[in-house]
Structure 1
Amino acid sequence: MSQALFLSDNAARVHPSVWEAMQAADAPDSPYDGDAVSAALDEKFSALFGRECAALWVATGTAANCLALATMVQPHGGVVCHEEAHIEVDEGGAPGFYLHGAKLLLGQGEGAKLTPDAIRAVIDPIRDDVHQVQPHAISITQASEYGRSYRPDELAQISALARERGLGLHMDGARFGNAAAFLGLPAAEVAGDVDALSFGFVKNGGMSAEAIVFFDASLADVARYRRKRAGHLQSKGRYLAAQIHAMLEGDLWLANARAANDAAQEIASACSDRLMHPVEANELFVNCTAAEREVLRGQGFAFYDWGDDAARFVTAWNTREEDARALATAIAAL
């Protein structure tokens, strides 16, 4: 029996346009990031966000998050993030490694989203003295780890707090495209007034390239040195840059995200009150017993358990309409 994969958008195929772009870049050029394809990224992202940007490619989302934060946070400082944030739960201690021991300061919030009040609850009790870790930055995730999207007014409130307290502001945008597709807003409004954005492509049809987009050029200057020191300055960087260009060309990143979101909405329509969170991207968290999950797996659906009483289903740019419809039918029949 063939499986319908809803494990992760990391498991999805690479978009054909990405392969074509890498093939087109398969010609001699300057090494590292000195090639013409890499050099053109700043202009490409500046056009997308309507403001001056500096963009660096890296191979993984973990590297993107950690290298971005390392430009804002000293080893004796801390990063405020949600307790369910990817940097806390799923990056194997990489933030502590890249930030040379800086601490993650964990906040709470519904749907894995931070609010200004949740951030204040973390930082206000910290004494302003050398005996306690001082906050240096805030990191938020768009869309969040539970597939929830920050609205522009929410982002504005968080950025205002960050400016008031002199904190850097980073956005983990592993599923930035899915948030943009759901909100139907320009990229600039989906990002808000952040200092750095980890713009995700691998989950959205890319192969092995993510972008760190800096809205402060001085941070980008620091990150270039840190990227080399961390072993992420690849000698044939044009192949990573080519992937990103392919995804930006004609807003392929957005079209792919819309396709994934549409598949998620098809499934969500059958879940009714089983949904643990509103579906605002391409992830669904669905209450179902162990026995019900076995029924679904017996019908050829692959997905991850989410605790003892739920499942997580993730759609991708290439999720087939018939597979999404079949899963919706199967869930409705439980």
Structure 2
Amino acid sequence: MQFMSDNAARVHPQVWAAMQAADAPDSPYDNDALSRRLDGLFADLFGRPCTVLWTATGTSANCLALAPMVQPHGGVVCHREAHIEMDEAGAPGFYLHGAKLMLADGAGAKVSPETIRAVIDPIRDDVHQVQPHAISITQASEYGLSYRPAEVAAIGALAKERGLGLHMDGARFANAVAFHGCTPDEACGSGAVQALSFGFVKNGGMGSEAIVFFEPGMSDMVRYRRKRAGHLQSKGRFLAAQIIAMVENDLWLANARAANAAAQELGTACGGRLMYPVEANELFVTMTAAEREALRAQGFSFYDWGADAARLVTAWSTEPAHVTALARAISAL
């Protein structure tokens, strides 16, 4: 009974079917019929023009999304526990040719205009200090908290005021949209975000993520950077097919709702053990080492989170019976 990561979840059958259907000769790279559909598909989803590039991993999606915003001598403001800082092995610095991550604070791994200003205001406007070029926020955050549309809009207003780009790491973007019951564009601050890494792998995809650019021309140089980084796949139609299968009939949203519902059931059982509200599909729960081992002895798998806590992650394919069993087991601790 697996609650370790949504990366370990099953691939949705509709995604497999779409990939099988794409197994016919077509133009290579991103000139196939399916890849050419992505711009229009996402324009309909967000209600505004955009350019969409596929890539195979969330790390490459984040770094390539930041590439047109950040020069090698610049910096990206992000939370000090953001995925691009803690879990991407220095990839942003690698892809951005030495650009610096500038770390901000904030409860629940969320930044705010105030915590961003605390980082950028003391920086002198001279060549001796790294200048901020962009802000990156994570939707939902590393502790499963979802930015409200108004919060994203406020960060976007600061970014515009200071001439900074705004990127959203949306590895669990679908879960945030499902939690708030808002539109995808509202979850991006109604036009505040310039580039979005729209995650699909955690939500039923096999190996494809979408980089969504909302600013004209931002994708032009990224096409070259994607090739240089080794992420221009020759049979790109199989990546596009996964994304289309998820977006076309709102499968991405249905899957996220299923994962969120499972997390809410567990959250009710955890009660006062919860370290943060449940606003997506991750739970951080206080547990002693003995309690964690007692759960593992019953067949549940999950990650320890420090000495006295555990992280539980649900997915679109998490068995309802497993959720109920874990909820009962936690209640009985």
- Normalising by the smaller structure, the TM-score range is over 0.9
In 1, the alpha carbon distance for the partners of 2:294 and 2:259 equals 24
Give the match for residue 320 of structure 1: 319
Question: Residues 22-33 of structure 1 correspond to what in structure 2 (within 5 A)?
Answer: 22-33=19-30
Question: Is 2:51 aligned against 1:54?
Answer: yes
In 2, the alpha carbon distance for the partners of 1:5 and 1:98 equals 33
* Secondary structure class of the residue paired with 2:249: helix
Give the match for residue 278 of structure 1: 277
Amino acid at match of 1:315: T
Deviation at 1:249, TM superposition (A): 1.8
% identical equivalent positions: 75
In 1, the alpha carbon distance for the partners of 2:80 and 2:273 equals 24
Question: Is 2:7 aligned against 1:10?
Answer: yes
Q: Deviations over 1:20-59 (max 9, x none)?
A: 0000000000000000100000000000000001000000
Question: Residues 1-334 of structure 1 correspond to what in structure 2 (within 5 A)?
Answer: 4-192=1-189, 193-334=192-333
Deviation at 1:263, TM superposition (A): 0.3
2:153 and 2:188 in contact (8 A); partners too: no
In 2, the alpha carbon distance for the partners of 1:191 and 1:5 equals 31
In 2, the alpha carbon distance for the partners of 1:256 and 1:134 equals 40
Deviation at 1:217, TM superposition (A): 2.4
In 1, the alpha carbon distance for the partners of 2:113 and 2:172 equals 22
Amino acid at match of 2:89: G
Q: Deviations over 1:228-255 (max 9, x none)?
A: 1111000000000000000002100000
In 1, the alpha carbon distance for the partners of 2:218 and 2:327 equals 45
Q: Deviations over 1:154-209 (max 9, x none)?
A: 11110000000000000000000000000000111011210000000000000000
Normalised by the size of structure 1, how large is the TM-score? Answer: 0.99
Question: Cα RMSD between the aligned structures?
Answer: 0.5
* Secondary structure class of the residue paired with 2:217: helix
In 1, the alpha carbon distance for the partners of 2:212 and 2:272 equals 38
Normalised by the size of structure 2, how large is the TM-score? Answer: 0.99
> Aligned residue pairs: how many?
331
- For structure 1, list consecutive stretches of 5 or more residues without a partner in the other structure: none
